[in-house]
Amino acid sequence: MSTIYQSLSSDRQGIRLLRLHPSEAFDDIIRCTLFPASLEDEPEYEALSYVWGPLKFTQDILVDEKPFKITKNLECALRYFRHASSDRVLWVDALCINQTDVAERNYQVPLMKEIYSRCARDLA
């Protein structure tokens, strides 16, 4: 099984951001790209706050053109926040943090206060 995650730099407040690609059709599959960033570089992004809901990963999206399963709540949020004609850069904990990598989670969770305080907008 291939992973969508590349290692993060821990020495420069490394995070991942999600580029949510546009679609004019609401029902089109969600396509996005993950890319590394550093909080030190003050990237512009919006943070998505939502209720995870049941941890049933049933919804298919494409991340870097690879299939990836997410929860229905996250899929719904991304669908509604997706623009019709331009990318949207987001930080979404369930996608930007490799949830299966305990060491990465332990490094990223303490950065969350900083991540939310530096975002251009918090989408809820």
Strands annotated E in 4-115: 14-20, 31-38, 46-48, 57-63, 66-71, 88-91
pLDDT for 49: 86
- 57-84: pLDDT as tens digits: 899 999 999 999 999 999 999 999 999 9
pTM for this prediction: 0.92
Q: Which position has the higher pLDDT, 121 or 11?
A: 121
The pLDDT of residue 35: 97
- Place 55 in a pLDDT band, splitting at 50, 70 and 90: confident
| Amino acid found at 40 | E
Using a pLDDT cut of 70, give the percent of the chain over it. Answer: 95
From CA 17, how far away is CA 39, in angstroms rounded? 11
Q: Which of 47, 33, 123 is nearest to 80 (CA)?
A: 123
pLDDT average, residue stretch 34-61:
90
Q: How confident is the model at residue 2 (pLDDT cuts 50, 70, 90)?
A: low
